[in-house]
Chain A
Amino acid sequence: MSATAHDAAPPIAIRAEGLRKRYQLGEHRSLQQTVASLLRRRATTVTFEALAGVDLTCHRGEAIGLVGINGSGKSTLLQILAGMIVPTGGEMRVWGRVLPLLAVGQGFHPELTGRENVTLFASSLGFPPKTVAERMDAVMEFAELESHIDTPTKRFSSGMISRLSFAVGIIFPADIYVFDEVLAVVDGEFQARCLEEIKGLHAAGRTVIFVSHNRNQVAEVCERVFWLEAGVVREHGPTADVLDQYEREHGRASAERPRARRRFRGPRPSRSSPR
């Protein structure tokens, strides 16, 4: 596929070269099993390559989509990008601050208030207290939670919690914004607002990495798409081209059924389908 669509390419934001991540299959070993395997001298463990050599380049200011069936390595790639996990091979270089929204409401402590949770979540994403204080009003406004912000989040509805974490993932200043399938959990109206905001970030020249199983959303946000399959980049290029190819193989991921159907797909179908 085409390499870079830009003639005068802006500086690079993310570059991955031969990125690999190997996992051990099955349960993590308990103390008992560890001792047993030490006695038996090195039990063989089955491993699985979530990423099997990913090459990817993303320029500053680009909006990149990631598609692929579940288990193709999208989330692993994003976890490495955000610094949660360490790869087992290859290299990734990142220029600028990454703001990852990989799950909604996940860092929240139910006993803490909305405000305290925003502070906790934003701090754990690496934002200094000054930035947190500055952006708090904007976060409350975006989440429409001005009146509830000092209530413990255990009294929040799940929608309120998602709105609050979305607000953090969108309002805080960063260079690379990452959204991993997070739009699927909020209602239509808020989803539309988030999409607008994400497009706004892109329009303002920020880099956006967007994962969704919803074709319309990917098409609306992204200029280029990377299609991951079994831990490698199968195709990449302009959004419409790659999405068309992806759908020829996997069927249309409709807006009505964002992901339920394709979730537990078995071994991937043969690659004989026409390109």
Chain B
Amino acid sequence: MQERATLESPVAAPLVWPAERVIRPTKRRLRLRDFVANAPVTRVLTARDLKVKYKQSLFGPLWLVFQPLALLAGFLVAFQGLAGVDTGGLPYVVFALVGLSVWSFFQAAMTIGTASLISSANLVRYTPCPRLAFPLAAVIASLPAFGVTATGAVVATTVTGHITIKVLLLPLVLIWLVLLTLAVVAILSSLAVRYRDINSALPFLLQVGVFLAPIGYPLAEVSSTARALLGLNPLTGVMEGARWMVLSGYQPDIEPIVISLAATALLVVAGWRLFSRRETTMADEI
């Protein structure tokens, strides 16, 4: 009975968050500055993605080493043993590891990134959590994959005496790679909310990708037609750029680099536009 009394006329408390929010029908509500405002959520989601990956796992982060090593072993047999590719005087392992650093990161980010929204369906549906934080966190959580393989590549290059001072520019390649990957992951993850086909296609696309990017073989070794086609893959340019930064005396193909830089810019703009558009209906559709 006495509780009733408290219900009568409580004095309105001052606002914890004194701001007005206007909700209107809109096609887009994301702003570029939201990136900054969303940093804390992105960090928590990144930590979750990292933790979840290795919980109840015997080897834990050692998988970051096993995966590229297994691919490297496969390449050694297929490209060096069987096909006998010529890496222009560079040790094959050194050559392949640089490409693998790019690929390990891209593959890891695609695997968790494309499903990032769907696998967090309940957060998307029941919380106003910024949707962009999910693909962003997946990409950031994949950075260790790059770190581990790239460190291996740089160490191997240094040991065999093929390192150049340009390696200090490698972070630029990383920024390029991260932007490209983020754009692709944002596009695919937002489309996957509506079209689950993306999830079915991804594993096999990634399998094909191992061969359709010059990871384990140099561009110089393939026919000019094949080279032109491979050049259309934006990852080809990133790999050429990375090799140019790391390996002394490496002559990169300029064309794929130009194509890739243009494609990255295009994909970033398109990704932003598509994601900010799709973002408003995600809770309805997921």
Contact = CB atoms under 8 A, between A and B. Distances in A.
Interface of A: 10-11, 23, 28-31, 59-61, 63, 79-98, 100, 102-103, 106-109, 111-112, 116, 119-121, 123-126, 128-129, 152, 173-175, 199, 202-207, 220, 223
Contacts of B18: 95-96
B117 to A, nearest CB: 13
Contact of B127 (A10, A87, A116, A125): A125
B55 A84 contact: no
A252 B148 CA distance: 64
Contacts of A95: 15, 18-21
B23 A199 contact: no
Given A61-B13, A85-B280, A91-B22, 15 more contacts: A10-B11, A83-B21, A83-B128, A87-B25, A92-B23, A94-B23, A95-B15, A112-B48, A119-B44, A120-B45, A124-B45, A175-B15, A199-B6, A202-B6, A202-B7
B24 interface: yes
Interface residues of B, number: 47
A60 B13 CA distance: 8
B13 A205 contact: yes
Contacts of A116: 47-48, 51
Contacts of B280: 85-86
Contacts of A94: 20-21, 23
Nearest to B8: A223
A96 to B, nearest CB: 5
Contacts of A174: 16-17
A208 to B, nearest CB: 10
A112 B52 contact: yes
A94 B22 CA distance: 6
B128 A10 contact: no
Contacts of A111: 51-52, 55-56
A203 B16 contact: no
A221 to B, nearest CB: 8
Given A92-B23, A203-B10, A97 B17 contact: yes
Contact of B126 (A97, A102, A152): A102
Contacts, number: 163
A93 B21 CA distance: 6
A23 B283 CA distance: 12
Contacts of A81: 23
Residue among B10, B20, B44, B285 with max Cβ neighbours from chain A (10 Å): B10
B222 interface: no
A204 B25 contact: no
B12 A123 contact: no
B29 interface: yes
A57 B281 CA distance: 26
Given A111-B52, A129-B40, A100 B127 contact: yes
Given A30-B195, A96-B17, A109 B48 contact: yes
A93 B13 contact: no
A91 to B, nearest CB: 5
A93 B22 CA distance: 5
A119 B44 CA distance: 7
Given A85-B283, A91-B23, A112-B52, A11 B12 contact: yes
B23 A83 contact: yes
Contacts of B126: 84, 100, 102-103, 106-107
Contacts of B124: 84
A84 B10 contact: no
B223 interface: no
A116 B129 CA distance: 16
Interface in B171-210: 194-195, 197
A20 B284 CA distance: 14
B13 A120 contact: no
B151 interface: no
Contacts of A79: 283
B69 interface: no
Contacts of B20: 93-95
A79 B126 CA distance: 8
Nearest to A199: B3
A106 B44 contact: no
A162 to B, nearest CB: 14
Nearest to A9: B12
B11 A205 contact: yes
